[in-house]
Amino acid sequence: MLGIYVHVPFCERKCIYCAFSSFMNKDTEEENYIRYLIKEIENSYKTYNIEKKQNVDTIYIGGGTPSILKVENVKKILVAIQNNFNVTKDCEITIECNPNSVDYEKLKSYKKLGINRISFGIQSLNDEDLKFLNRLHNKNQAIESIRMAKKAGFENISADLLIGIPNQTVNSFTEQLKKLIELGVKHFSCYMLQIENGTPLENMVKKHQIILPTDDQSVEIYNNCATFLKKLGFNRYEVSNFALDGVESKHNSKYWVGEDYIGFGLSAHSYINKIRSANPNNFEKYYKGEKTFTEKLSKEELIEEHIMLGLRCKYGVDIEYLKNLGYNIEENENLTDFIDKNIIKKDKQRLFLNPDFYGVNNYIILKLLP
């Protein structure tokens, strides 16, 4: 079934590590943007050459910071989707929120609009870290926002956390997880802090103003995090994602399994009928309806993607599917080696990466490509 992603490219301010598509012109651009967004949603069946009123079982409003939009605009977006697609009853509808830009009222409105999953950009529960990252919230606000979401009726709450921040230790990270689980968080996305080109963070590192933990130190924290969460029943269903049973993100899973999705809004990506395309990261070009690229995947590319995505999550690689595309992965001698070493598990017609090796999955993927 189809998934829908909506990009909200506005933030109150940029975090030092952020290289995503987000701008600080919400005050002047919000209304305009919503208008074009709705237009894009209405025209999408033409753009992607699909039938009207397709079934949609996941909607994900991401950003940027979607929670800084006026509630009425969030509503407009959801209504537009409802009008043009057939949103299933059990549809997973997620919105990303920053702890400082929500209050109880707003969360209650989200609930009323049918949103059933909140993804909080917590990043850290350490005030110094949050300041360093240029986040607008503090520890207390983070805790309070989760409490409010619970109170507003949300069961499915996820928290984004960063690993690899200065001063972070195995212990401080575990303490943080404990606290969040206590508050009712059922899903974690843990990302390693990455130094992206053109970010203030990159600049600081270059000028030696900060010293980030080494890869080995970060990996240490990451591995401890994975072990700790596993003990508490969290399933590492993707390299960076951990969830209790039943609350794995259906939407993100679509990316990994290779299901179709449409992305609306600035810089959003779509994958429909084996065609990948992307919207521009520029308001003017976006309003004109331009695309930065549209590419039909070749057999080779489909093979590459299937292996690349299948081995970064619990869904695995389908041997038969690859065979039909012309690649007999079982003839790859590296595979035999990996199976012998218990790095890859084979179960009937599927191959799975042992989660202990998620941290080096890229190395393994490269070995298993045709």
Binding site for another protein (CB under 8 A): 5, 7, 20, 62, 191-192, 194, 215-216, 218-219, 239-240, 254-255, 261, 263, 267-271, 276, 278, 293, 295, 301, 304-305, 308-309, 312, 337, 341, 343, 357-366, 369
* Smallest gap from residue 326 Cβ to another protein (A): 17
Residue 212 DSSP symbol: P
* Smallest gap from residue 66 Cβ to another protein (A): 12
Nearest CA to 4 out of 110, 106, 107, 77 is that of: 77
- 227 or 362: whose CB is closer to another protein? 362
- 109 or 223: whose CB is closer to another protein? 223
The answer to whether the Cα torsion of 205, 208, 209, 212 is positive or negative is positive
* Smallest gap from residue 147 Cβ to another protein (A): 28
Burial class (CB in 10 A: 0-12, 13-18, 19+), 145: buried
**In sequence order, what are the beta bridge partners of 236?**
242
- Tell me the backbone φ, ψ of residue 361, rounded to 5 degrees: -60, -30
Specify the DSSP element, H or E, that contains 103.
none
Nearest CA to 8 out of 111, 17, 21, 19 is that of: 21
Strands annotated E in 32-168: 55-63, 86-97, 117-123, 156-163
The angle, 0 to 180 degrees and rounded to 10, between the axes of the packed helices 333-340 and 361-368 is 140
Burial class (CB in 10 A: 0-12, 13-18, 19+), 74: buried
Q: How far apart are the first and last CA of the chain?
A: 29
* Smallest gap from residue 152 Cβ to another protein (A): 26
- 44 or 267: whose CB is closer to another protein? 267
The whole-angstrom separation of Cα 56 and Cα 48 is 15
* Smallest gap from residue 256 Cβ to another protein (A): 9
**Other Cβ atoms within 10 Å of 320 Cβ, number:** 10
* Smallest gap from residue 304 Cβ to another protein (A): 6
- 287 or 357: whose CB is closer to another protein? 357
Show the tokens assigned to 19. Answer: 């290289």
- 67 or 141: whose CB is closer to another protein? 67
- 104 or 321: whose CB is closer to another protein? 321
With vertex at residue 313, the alpha carbon angle to CA 311 and CA 315, rounded to the nearest 5 degrees, is: 90
- 140 or 227: whose CB is closer to another protein? 227
The whole-angstrom separation of Cα 291 and Cα 40 is 12
- 243 or 365: whose CB is closer to another protein? 365
* Smallest gap from residue 198 Cβ to another protein (A): 14
* Smallest gap from residue 239 Cβ to another protein (A): 6
**Other Cβ atoms within 10 Å of 86 Cβ, number:** 15
* Smallest gap from residue 194 Cβ to another protein (A): 6
- 141 or 252: whose CB is closer to another protein? 252
- 79 or 360: whose CB is closer to another protein? 360
* Smallest gap from residue 161 Cβ to another protein (A): 13
Q: Which positions ≥6 away from 179 have C-beta within 8 Å?
A: 125, 143
